[in-house]
Amino acid sequence: MKKRIGLLGGTFDPLHFGHLQLAEIAMSQCCLDRILFIPAANPPHKTDRRIAGFQHRVNMLRLVLAHRPVLQLTTLEGDLPSPSYTIDTLACLARKCPHGGEFYFILGVDAFLEIDTWKSYRELLMRTNFIVAGRSGCSFDAFEALALSLGYVPKDGIWLYPSADMEMHYLSEATDDISSSAVREAIRRGLSLHGLVPEEVIDYIEENNLYEGLD
């Protein structure tokens, strides 16, 4: 039987507890064998602000995931052409794992609601399963309407994409309402990061003066 591999991409600027909670919920509810964290080298949707360097974001992930063997890091986007598009990352993973597992791409419902703006999104629907996490402020009705319009069919608690034999899971269990932007805002205001990010990330941010000079 093929391994079920979750793919959790993102800027991780910085990694926070919401990311880890999402991974744990997806792992439990969707019976995943492991999850790959995939930091974006140069994300196309983050052109409105300066982000921490790729290596810094990789280092923070590596520190936190070191003691979580089922949560693994891949830096493959650092070797791909810029900007980092999900469809290209997925193709690269498929080449690296020709006899590998079934991929389950994990994202928030807010991102899923904009999937028709992604590069080659129709091809993406044909090539991977999805795990969509509920978010405060994003209704299930909006998710359902988009899923139906894309061709998904609800059956036995999951959504099927019949033309490609792919599936989509909707996670209604919410994670803590934490975002990387909220973490950076706390840094800007000089507030404590405890409860927002792991201790390893706090130490790394302080040691490397990351996000210094935020205005």
Q: What is the DSSP letter of 193?
A: -
Strand partners, 135: none
- pLDDT of 98 higher than 70: no
Confidence of residue 170 (pLDDT cuts 50, 70, 90): very high
Confidence category of residue 174, pLDDT binned at 50, 70, 90: low
How confident is the model over 149-163, as a mean pLDDT? 95
CA atoms lying within 13 Å on the CB side of residue 16? 19
β-pair partners for 8: 37, 106
pTM of the predicted protein model? 0.93
Mean pLDDT, the chain, whole residue set: 91
Percent of the chain with pLDDT over 70: 94
For residues 177-206, average pLDDT: 94
Q: d(Cα 113, Cα 194) in Å, to the nearest integer?
A: 31
Rounded to 5 degrees, what are φ and ψ at 10?
165, 175
| pLDDT tens readout for residues 45-88 | 655 567 899 999 999 999 999 999 999 999 999 988 888 899 99
What are the b/e assignments for 24-37, b being 16+ CB within 10 Å? Answer: ebbbeebebeebbb
- Compute the distance between CA of residue 179 and CA of residue 181 in angstroms, rounded to an integer: 5
Q: What pLDDT sits at residue 135?
A: 86
Closest CA relative to residue 100, chosen from 79, 122, 72 = 72
Task: State yes or no: pLDDT of 20 exceeds 80.
Answer: yes
For 108-142, how does the pLDDT look when each residue is reduced to its tens digit (9 = 90+)?
A: 999 999 999 999 999 999 999 999 999 888 889 99
How buried is residue 138: exposed, middle or buried, by Cβ count under 10 Å (0-12/13-18/19+)? middle
Q: Give the separation between CA 199 and CA 179, rounded to whole angstroms.
A: 16
Query: 């299930």: which residue's tokens?
Result: 140
- Please check the confidence at residue 100 and state whether its pLDDT lies above 80: no
Domains assigned to the chain: 4-207 (3.40.50.620)
Q: What is the mean pLDDT of residues 103-108?
A: 96
Predicted confidence (pLDDT) at residue 179 exceeds the cutoff of 60: yes
The dihedrals phi and psi of 158, each to the nearest 5 degrees, come to: -125, 175
